[in-house]
Amino acid sequence: MAISLKRYLFFLLLIFLYPITANSDDYFNRITMASDGRITRFDHSPITVYISSPDVPDDIKQSYVDDIEYALDQWSSISEGQLKFQRIEKEDADIRICWTNKLLSPEGDPLGESSLVQFSQNKFYVNVSILIKGIPTSATSVHKEIRTVALHEIGHAIGLWGHSKDVNDVMYLKTKAMYPTRRDKETLIKLLSYPNGSAFHDNAISELKADISENAYAPHLHLWLGSVYADKGYDDLAIQELTYTLNLDPNFLKAADRLARIFQKEGMNQKAIQYYRELARHEPSSGLFGMIGMLYFQQKDYPLAIDYFQKAYYLDNSNTAVKNNSLTAYHLWASDLIKSGNPNGAISVLNQAMIRFPSSRILYYDLGTAYDYKKEYEKAVEYYKKSLELEPSFEPAKKDIATCMNNMGAEQIQNKNLLAGIDICKQALIWDPNCWQAKKNLEIANLELGRQKQESGLMDDAIVYYRSVIELNPNNIDAYVGLGDAYYEKGLYRESIEYYQNALKIDPNLQYAKDGIAFIKRLININRAKIAGFFIILSTAFVFIAFLLYRSLRNKKTMNNGIVQSER
Ligand SMILES: [Zn+2]
């Protein structure tokens, strides 16, 4: 009886306690703190995992891989069958585990790091880095530590994007846990009951604010809060938090990136400028001026961008980033002016820039482009060459020199200065052997010269130029016809026919070549007939002479016979 009363009281106690503990016995409210306030988990099964080979001696590699397998098994075993992992040997897995001997992120996990690489709410993967401290070993104490870290980091990877406040939990920041606790399990099961993308911004915001009240200067907390605000659409608050993050840690790239993504939204730029100018008025700094410069730069307001970059550089001349930005602003400013048909404006901007950046390859090249646009090719070439002196491997300058040379050559050819044109176009091909325009102009000039020589009766010279044309373009019909004509004039009929035939190979309907061949063939036949006639006459003459000779011999013989006969 006493026992059953005790039992009764125990159950009563449980019934009263259960609802209280059940509500607070997970840290679900904290699992979207680092994932923009949204459930971010793989909702397919199995989740693929790639474990890269640790950089340790071969005989102990497996012990490191086993630690990861251990962590995966632990999470799988408390998921009520909902989490299945599949190890694959391809690097494009959902979870990609690598080993490192140096952690870079300031976010806090002391021995490992999980980073979400997100393309959209449904498309992402997770990189997990596990720190290998000191000399690799298979010692149990070391691997206990790695298992603890792996358990924690894989917890993030499967969707627990926050830290528990209970020291016993796997998801406690500086955890020592070897096994997930009941709280870890409850949180996981609750997580798995929500689809990926479910919004819990307000939970994340209140948890982050509570954490910040205890630890006001942790950059990662402000980054997370700013990111949640941004996801919720509270841009002003997001900008404020992210700017504060960058004040705490100017090198926190994730914060700068998040901030830039907010400003990329339409209409945000002007707001941001106002915000930073106000800040800079109270507390001018190189960083703030640089940021304002950047915002003007994004708006393509180059004069103001340059102005602010200069101010930033003036306050801190170790800030080389603003110096580079200023150069880029000059470059883009000039490029825009050229594109909008104002090369003179570009030249004056570039000359102004040259005072600050006297040995910039980019500025010399831009000056070349501006003069190129104005068709002042000699000047353009001069500047292109200067840019090449500063960077000899800068290919675009070589191509542009070739184009300018070609244009100069084309002008000469148009003005009938054919030899000068050929000379310049040949130089263009030295700068860029693939400059097809120069090849085309050389072809035209050589053909024209061939015709001129032919008209002047200088067939050998004409042949040289026509051959040059064919070297440049083996399909130039006019050059083959020209060669056909020139060889005809020289009386070399076989060669002449050959070249007309070449022309016909390219254009089988070319009547001129057909007529040419027919004419030469007739000519040859007439000549043959003449020769044949000559031989007929000659042989007739021989026959006649032979007949006469025969007759005269026969007469003599007859006379002799007569003599002999008369003696008898
Ligand atoms: Zn963590």
**Tens digit of pLDDT for each residue in 330-384?**
999 999 999 999 999 999 999 999 999 999 999 999 999 999 999 999 999 999 9
Q: How far is the CA of 315 from the centre of ligand 1 (A)?
A: 38
Q: Is 51 part of any domain?
A: yes
pLDDT above 60: residue 300: yes
Q: How far is the CA of 46 from the centre of ligand 1 (A)?
A: 23
Q: How far is the CA of 107 from the centre of ligand 1 (A)?
A: 8
Residue 108: its pLDDT value, please?
67
Residue 534: its pLDDT value, please?
79
Count how many domains the chain has.
2
pLDDT above 70: residue 105: no
Model confidence at 28, in pLDDT bands (50, 70, 90)? very high
Residue 199 to residues 40, 94, 117, 185, 202: CA-CA distances in angstroms? 10, 22, 19, 21, 9
CATH number of the domain to which 160 belongs? 3.40.390.10
Model confidence at 565, in pLDDT bands (50, 70, 90)? very low
Phi/psi for 341 (5° steps) reads 80, 25
Under DSSP, is residue 143 helix (H, G, I), strand (E, B) or coil?
A: helix
Q: Is 204 part of any domain?
A: no
Domain closes at, from 148, 175, 192: 192
Q: How far is the CA of 135 from the centre of ligand 1 (A)?
A: 24
pLDDT above 60: residue 425: yes
DSSP conformation class of 28: G
Q: How far is the CA of 108 from the centre of ligand 1 (A)?
A: 7
Q: How far is the CA of 154 from the centre of ligand 1 (A)?
A: 9
If one compares 42 and 320, the residue with the highest pLDDT of the two is: 42
Model confidence at 561, in pLDDT bands (50, 70, 90)? very low
pLDDT in tens, 204-215: 999 999 999 999
Instruction: List b or e across 521-551, with b for residues whose CB sees 16 or more CB atoms inside 10 angstroms.
Output: eeeeeeeeeeeeeeeeeeeeeeeeeeeeeee
Q: Which of 13-22, 29-38, 512-521 has the highest mean pLDDT?
A: 29-38
Residue 398: its pLDDT value, please?
94
Q: How far is the CA of 363 from the centre of ligand 1 (A)?
A: 48
Q: How far is the CA of 407 from the centre of ligand 1 (A)?
A: 64
pLDDT in tens, 407-422: 999 999 999 999 999 9
Residue 106: its pLDDT value, please?
55
Q: How far is the CA of 486 from the centre of ligand 1 (A)?
A: 88
The average pLDDT across 58-82 equals: 95
Q: How far is the CA of 152 from the centre of ligand 1 (A)?
A: 6
pLDDT above 70: residue 32: yes
Rounded Cα distance between 293 and 544, Å, is 114
Q: How far is the CA of 474 from the centre of ligand 1 (A)?
A: 71
Domain closes at, from 160, 177, 192: 192
Q: Most distant CA pair in the chain: distance in Å?
A: 196
Residue 555: its pLDDT value, please?
67
Q: How far is the CA of 129 from the centre of ligand 1 (A)?
A: 12
**Ion ligand 1 nearby residues (CB, 5 A):** 109
Q: How far is the CA of 312 from the centre of ligand 1 (A)?
A: 37
Model confidence at 46, in pLDDT bands (50, 70, 90)? very high
If one compares 240 and 561, the residue with the highest pLDDT of the two is: 240
Parent domain of 462: 429-520
Q: How far is the CA of 153 from the centre of ligand 1 (A)?
A: 6
Q: Which of 132-146, 451-465, 534-548 has the highest mean pLDDT?
A: 451-465
Q: Is 144 part of any domain?
A: yes
Encoded tokens for 33: 């703190």
Q: How far is the CA of 261 from the centre of ligand 1 (A)?
A: 25
Residues with Cβ within 8 Å of 441's Cβ and at least 6 positions away in sequence, in order, are 406, 409, 410, 413, 421, 425
Phi/psi for 537 (5° steps) reads -60, -45
Q: How far is the CA of 156 from the centre of ligand 1 (A)?
A: 7
DSSP conformation class of 44: S
Phi/psi for 550 (5° steps) reads -60, -45
Q: How far is the CA of 124 from the centre of ligand 1 (A)?
A: 18
Q: How far is the CA of 155 from the centre of ligand 1 (A)?
A: 8
Q: How far is the CA of 235 from the centre of ligand 1 (A)?
A: 26
Q: Is 359 part of any domain?
A: no
Task: Of 119-133, 348-362, 462-476, give the lowest mean pLDDT range.
Answer: 119-133
Q: How far is the CA of 210 from the centre of ligand 1 (A)?
A: 17
Q: How far is the CA of 158 from the centre of ligand 1 (A)?
A: 12
The average pLDDT across 136-146 equals: 89
Q: How far is the CA of 547 from the centre of ligand 1 (A)?
A: 130
The average pLDDT across 434-441 equals: 91
546: β partners:
none
Residue 78: its pLDDT value, please?
96
pLDDT in tens, 224-249: 999 999 999 998 899 899 989 988 88
Q: Is 403 part of any domain?
A: no
Q: How far is the CA of 173 from the centre of ligand 1 (A)?
A: 5
pLDDT in tens, 168-206: 999 998 899 999 999 999 999 999 999 999 999 999 999
Nearest to 31 by CA among 266, 193, 146, 240: 193
Q: Is 174 part of any domain?
A: yes
Q: How far is the CA of 187 from the centre of ligand 1 (A)?
A: 15
Mean pLDDT of the chain, nearest integer: 87
Task: Of 90-104, 298-312, 348-362, 439-453, give the lowest mean pLDDT range.
Answer: 90-104
Q: How far is the CA of 82 from the centre of ligand 1 (A)?
A: 22
Under DSSP, is residue 161 helix (H, G, I), strand (E, B) or coil?
A: coil
If one compares 422 and 100, the residue with the highest pLDDT of the two is: 422
Q: Is 553 part of any domain?
A: no
Residue 559: its pLDDT value, please?
45
**Cβ distance 369 to 387 under 8 Å?**
no
CATH number of the domain to which 513 belongs? 1.25.40.10
Q: How far is the CA of 18 from the centre of ligand 1 (A)?
A: 29
Q: How far is the CA of 114 from the centre of ligand 1 (A)?
A: 7
The average pLDDT across 242-266 equals: 78
Domain closes at, from 192, 222, 253: 192
Q: How far is the CA of 31 from the centre of ligand 1 (A)?
A: 11
With vertex at residue 304, the alpha carbon angle to CA 298 and CA 309, rounded to the nearest 5 degrees, is 80
Q: How far is the CA of 164 from the centre of ligand 1 (A)?
A: 9
Q: Is 480 part of any domain?
A: yes
Q: Which of 68-77, 102-111, 260-269, 308-317 has the highest mean pLDDT?
A: 68-77
